[in-house]
């Protein structure tokens, strides 16, 4: 029988993983005006996985 995680243990896991944090706690308004969870796109996920101490992000126009 598997041990169930407490709320505190689940929260600690989420707080240590930005992708999980964003999905669970960050909400955005989509083009239809609906509030939806923030899910990283492929480029954002790649950046999160490969980021280092110093990062330069250019603003696209």
The model's confidence at residue 1, banded by pLDDT at 50, 70 and 90, is low
Q: Mean pLDDT score of the chain, rounded to an integer?
A: 89
Q: Indicate if the pLDDT at residue 36 is higher than 80.
A: yes
Is-above-0.75 flag for pTM?
no
Instruction: Find all residues with CB under 8 Å of 13, minimum gap 6, and list them.
Output: 5, 20
- Spell out the domain ranges in the chain: 28-53
Q: How far apart are alpha carbons 51 and 56 in whole angstroms? A: 10
């Amino acid at each position: 029988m598997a041990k169930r995680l407490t709320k505190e243990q689940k929260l600690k896991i989420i707080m240590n993983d930005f992708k999980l944090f964003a999905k669970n706690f960050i909400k955005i308004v989509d083009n239809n005006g609906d509030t939806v969870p923030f899910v990283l796109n492929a480029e954002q996920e790649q950046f999160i996985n490969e980021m280092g101490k110093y990062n330069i992000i250019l603003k696209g126009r």
